[in-house]
Amino acid sequence: MSLEWEQVIVDAADPVGLGQWWLEALGWVVVDSDTDVFEIRPEPDRLPGLLFVRSEGRKTVKNRLHLDFRPDDQDAEVDRLLAHGARRVDVGQGEQSWVVLADPEDNEFCILGRRRT
């Protein structure tokens, strides 16, 4: 038996708007779009992707699953994402080497520091 990771599903009040935000943040490509779903991937045939689906209501508690990203330059990437509309959030992480941000619908994600060798 074999499993392939296809995508992460993200509930969204505005799937197209949130999907567009992540599309621009990640520099990925759109593979499916209508009013209720918006799917992006790193490249058209490369997995995994992110699928944004319409969901009623706003997020009210900390995500139980979140994405971690490891950039070449953490400070520059945090600044870029903040300028793009992300915001810093405190989920109780304390002083850490990573930075916790949230997208426009308050989904947390982390920008990690350099990988230790």
pLDDT digit string (tens) for 77-102? 999 999 999 999 988 777 888 999 99
Q: In the chain, what are the domain boundaries?
A: 1-55, 66-117
Q: Which helix (H) or strand (E) holds 79?
A: helix 74-83
Let me know if the fold of 1-55 is the same as that of 66-117: yes
Model pTM?
0.89
Task: Decide if domain 1-55 falls under CATH 3.10.180.10.
Answer: yes
Domain 66-117 annotated CATH 3.30.110.30: no
pLDDT (tens digit, 9 = 90+) per residue, 23-47? 999 999 999 999 899 999 999 999 9
Task: Label residue 51 exposed, middle or buried (CB < 10 Å: 0-12, 13-18, 19+).
Answer: buried
- Long-range pairs for 93-100: beta carbons < 8 A, 24 or more residues apart: 98/68, 99/74
What per-residue confidence (pLDDT) applies to 56? Answer: 87
